[in-house]
Amino acid sequence: MSGLTRLKWAGFLAYHTARERWIPFESESGVRALAERRMRGILRYATARIPYYQEVLRAAGLEPRDVRTLEDLARLPLLTKEELVGEPGLCSAPGRGEGLEIQSSGTSGRSRTIFHTGASLFLNLAGGYRMRAAMAPFTGRLRGCREALIVRRGSVHEQIRRFYAETGPRLPDGGTGGEFILPPAGDFREELRRLNEYQADVVRGYGSYLGAFYRWVYNTGAELARPKAVVYGADGMPDADRQLIEEGLRIPVFSVYQAVEALRIGYQCPLRQGLHVYADQVHVRVVDGQGRALTPPATGDLVISNLINPGTVLLNYKLGDVVTLSAEPCACGRSGLRILRIEGRNDDVVWRPDGAAIHALTLMAALQKFSGVVQVQVEQKRTDAFTLRVVPCAGQDWPSLARALGEAMRQVLGYAAEIEVQSVPSIPAGPNKKVRAVISHVQPPGAIRHDGRSGWVPDARLGARARRG
């Protein structure tokens, strides 16, 4: 990459990072004005370059000038994940220029590819300042934290970091004091040894996996070089695990809300009052089961519009999560909407006979690499018994595909297991309206009962141990 290109992005990043200091505390009208300018620019581009948006506006009897406010986005038809997966390139223009095509295994069991422009990626990088500022009272600094990431190889994070390293200014730590990536192999003892050796200030990773890992640390009494904060994203962390980490191990837990379709949706309030929405980058609203708009405070299907990425234009897009949205002012002083709760992001991990865990994304990465797979779901009945449900592409050699999927599954598990591979026409959503890629009926180590709302509940020693700490 040329020095001029790196210099261009260095200036772009510096400018937008400086703006990040005031955007969270700007008046709602000021943030709205910025968001609507971005929305109108994205819509002009989409209607000039992308046939899908030309057609939907024509069908709705709309011109681009008719969509002037954020509320006007609701006049567009809802765009679903099924449409996006079923027709790759539906919302992208040809000749997209500099950027990155991001592939995500996703915990819905459907692989998605989204193109993000260079400008949108560096706006997202600048947006990381908001999360660092929210964490600063706990970490003691805005920059320079040593971070350890427990994420799979080829993760969205790794794809984006590679783009920054190859394209942007030479800031390899992106605001951190160093970064250590540790794939979630399920060997908790070895992962703990390496984390203790690295002495991370912040540990990041998948919510369900970090919950299982720190529950193991707590239950075994293993020596822990305690980080200043744990940050999770990609999927949910059971409430019981979060309580155990914060009260039992005395480590503050933060969450971020992100998706391959919109890299920054929300970040944890420092007062623990939900997730503040990146309202200048993504417009969010909730709808009921019939697609009718709900006024906050309300719980419903989340609909997003990415306001900063013309690479794959997603306006009025049904993300697939159920969230509780609030418009009440927050005591921390940050303005705009808050997401109080995200339902349907607690994908299970798979439990091995030795008590170690394998995360849903690790399984999905291995199973979705086959071109004949549309969607896949893993159900664990016992530690050594699984059902693998697959929606195959039309015309596939099913016996060959089924054998290959079974073998790939065994390789990820690393032990002998009974695997039944089923071809199904579709995989239905659960009660929370989200398709879970992994469902486990195996009770994890250290849990004594199951609570339908909070996930696995730790044993009664938590309160006493927390008080002794």
- Summarised one tens digit per residue, pLDDT across range 12-29 is 999 999 999 999 999 999
Widest CA span in the chain: 66
Question: What topology is assigned to 350-443 in CATH?
Answer: GMP Synthetase; Chain A, domain 3 (3.30.300)
Task: Using alpha carbons only, give the angle 194, 200, 205 rounded to the nearest 5 degrees.
Answer: 80
Q: What is the pLDDT of residue 192?
A: 94
* H or E element in which residue 243 lies: helix 239-243
What is the number of residues in the chain? 469
- Encoded amino acid at 79, one letter: L
CA distances in angstroms from 82 to 53, 90, 155, 320, 374, listed in the order given: 17, 11, 22, 10, 10
Q: Tokens for 195?
A: 């984390």
For CATH 3.30.300.30, list the domain ranges present in the chain: 350-443
Q: What is the pLDDT of residue 172?
A: 46
Q: What is the mean pLDDT of residues 243-269?
A: 94
**344 falls in which pLDDT band (50, 70, 90)?**
low
Highest-confidence segment of 109-118, 164-173, 226-235: 226-235
| 256 close to 245: Cβ distance less than 8 angstroms | no
Number of H helices, E strands in the chain: 12, 22
- pLDDT of residue 177 exceeding 60, the answer is no
| 206 close to 234: Cβ distance less than 8 angstroms | yes
Query: Which residue has better confidence, 113 or 340?
Result: 340
Q: What percent of the chain has pLDDT over 70?
A: 88
DSSP 352: P
Separation of alpha carbons 206 and 150, rounded Å: 7
Nearest C-alpha neighbor of 234 from the set 345, 142, 92: 345
Query: Which residue has better confidence, 449 or 40?
Result: 40
Q: What is the pLDDT of residue 152?
A: 80
Separation of alpha carbons 305 and 281, rounded Å: 9
DSSP 14-49: HHHHHHTTTGGGS-HHHHHHHHHHHHHHHHHHHHHH
Q: What is the pLDDT of residue 258?
A: 92
For CATH 3.40.50.980, list the domain ranges present in the chain: 143-259+460-468
CA distances in angstroms from 116 to 8, 23, 89, 172, 313, listed in the order given: 18, 22, 12, 20, 9
Spell out the residues 6+ positions from residue 212 whose beta carbon is closer than 8 angstroms to its own. 241, 349, 357, 444
Q: What is the pLDDT of residue 464?
A: 34
Q: What is the mean pLDDT of residues 352-366?
A: 80
For CATH 3.40.50.12780, list the domain ranges present in the chain: 3-121+261-343
Q: What is the pLDDT of residue 434?
A: 57
Q: What is the pLDDT of residue 462?
A: 43
Query: Which residue has better confidence, 432 or 236?
Result: 236
**135 falls in which pLDDT band (50, 70, 90)?**
very high
Total Cβ atoms within 10 A of residue 174: 16
Start-to-end CA distance of the chain, whole Å, equals: 51
**460 falls in which pLDDT band (50, 70, 90)?**
very low
- Summarised one tens digit per residue, pLDDT across range 373-404 is 877 889 999 999 999 999 887 788 999 999 99
Q: What is the mean pLDDT of residues 358-383?
A: 83
Q: What is the mean pLDDT of residues 46-66?
A: 94
Which pairing describes strands 229-233 and 253-259: parallel, antiparallel, or unpaired? Answer: parallel
Q: What is the mean pLDDT of residues 240-251?
A: 90
Task: Please state the CATH superfamily assignment of the domain spanning residues 3-121+261-343 in this structure.
Answer: ANL, N-terminal domain (3.40.50.12780)
**74 falls in which pLDDT band (50, 70, 90)?**
very high
By 3-state DSSP, what share of the chain in percent is helix, strand and coil, each rounded to 5? 35, 25, 35
Q: What is the mean pLDDT of residues 415-430?
A: 86
| 358 close to 191: Cβ distance less than 8 angstroms | no
The region of weakest confidence among 100-104, 108-112, 177-181, 297-301 is: 108-112
Query: Which residue has better confidence, 348 or 378?
Result: 378
Q: What is the pLDDT of residue 458?
A: 40
DSSP 453-468: TTEEEEPTHHHHHHHH
Separation of alpha carbons 338 and 332, rounded Å: 12
Q: Tokens for 235?
A: 């999927």
Collapse the DSSP code of 123 into the 3-class scheme (helix H, G, I; strand E, B; otherwise coil) and give the result: helix
**195 falls in which pLDDT band (50, 70, 90)?**
very high
Q: What is the pLDDT of residue 61?
A: 92
- pLDDT of residue 347 exceeding 70, the answer is no
DSSP 79: B
Q: What is the mean pLDDT of residues 455-463?
A: 41
Name residue 271's beta-bridge partners.
Answer: none
Return the CATH class of domain 143-259+460-468: alpha beta
Separation of alpha carbons 330 and 339, rounded Å: 11
CA distances in angstroms from 255 to 267, 275, 323, 345, listed in the order given: 6, 8, 14, 12
Q: What percent of the chain has pLDDT over 90?
A: 55
Separation of alpha carbons 411 and 423, rounded Å: 21
- Summarised one tens digit per residue, pLDDT across range 311-333 is 999 999 999 888 999 999 999 99
Q: What is the pLDDT of residue 461?
A: 40
**208 falls in which pLDDT band (50, 70, 90)?**
confident
